[in-house]
Structure 1
Amino acid sequence: MTQIVVLPHVELCPDGAVFETTPGGTLCDALLDNGIDIEHACEKSCACTTCHVIVREGFDSLAEAEEEEEDLLDKAWGLEPQSRLSCQAVVGDTPLVVEIPRYTINMAREGKH
């Protein structure tokens, strides 16, 4: 099992979270499976940026992003060098510390920022 630490996020997990997940699944699935309702407007098909996360620790343990993911990340709000789309980042054996940005560019989500 791999430990995932999620830093506090005002809406999704105000107190932050710590949980264990099985390596081999995506970070998005691990978050969803552990009660963190991260947006994933394209249903995890690498077609939007709503599941954008910043991997604060353990980034180098993830496989490199494919070109399609890199192109989409260029459009993400709050892009940083350690940014990934959580639907594309496969969890390995290394613990991760993840920050979910405050905003997304999901135009379909009414009444939210």
Structure 2
Amino acid sequence: MPKIIIENLYHKEISAKEPDYKVIEIIHDNYVDWMHACGKKGRCTTCMMIVEDGMENLSELTEREVSYRNLGKLKPNQRLTCQARLKEGTIRIRVNDQYKLPHMDYSE
């Protein structure tokens, strides 16, 4: 079963019912708030996640992510949760400090 560990949310572990779901959908299906200013359409970078481990368990970069990389808005260890799909396995991620929600309690 695909699993996400959000390190700076006290190592919160959430899982997907099956593989190949967008990361943002898995997060929201598990009742975790995550920034997404453009409505999950890949038009901004506010849903960015920092991938600490498990990048190989994510789908290939989408055209939008490649475009943001080329513009210098996404680093090699960053992906957009609205674009990346979780395949099998586990990913360890962090919420980018810039996009933390004020009502959430973050660790570290």
TM-score range, shorter chain: 0.7 to 0.9
- Superposition CA RMSD, Å: 1.9
Correspondence for 1:80: 75
SS in 1 for 2:65: helix
Unmatched runs of 5 consecutive residues or more in structure 2: 102-108
Percent identical residues: 29
Aligned pair count reads: 98
TM-score normalized by structure 2? 0.79
Correspondence for 2:62: 66
Correspondence for 2:38: 42
Q: Which has the higher strand share?
A: 2
Unmatched runs of 5 consecutive residues or more in structure 1: none
Q: Measure how far apart 1:61 and its partner are.
A: 2.4
Correspondence 1:25 to 2:21: yes
Q: Which has the higher helix share?
A: 2
TM-score normalized by structure 1? 0.76
1:81 & 1:47 partners in 2: Cα distance? 19
Runs of 4+ more than 6 Å apart? none
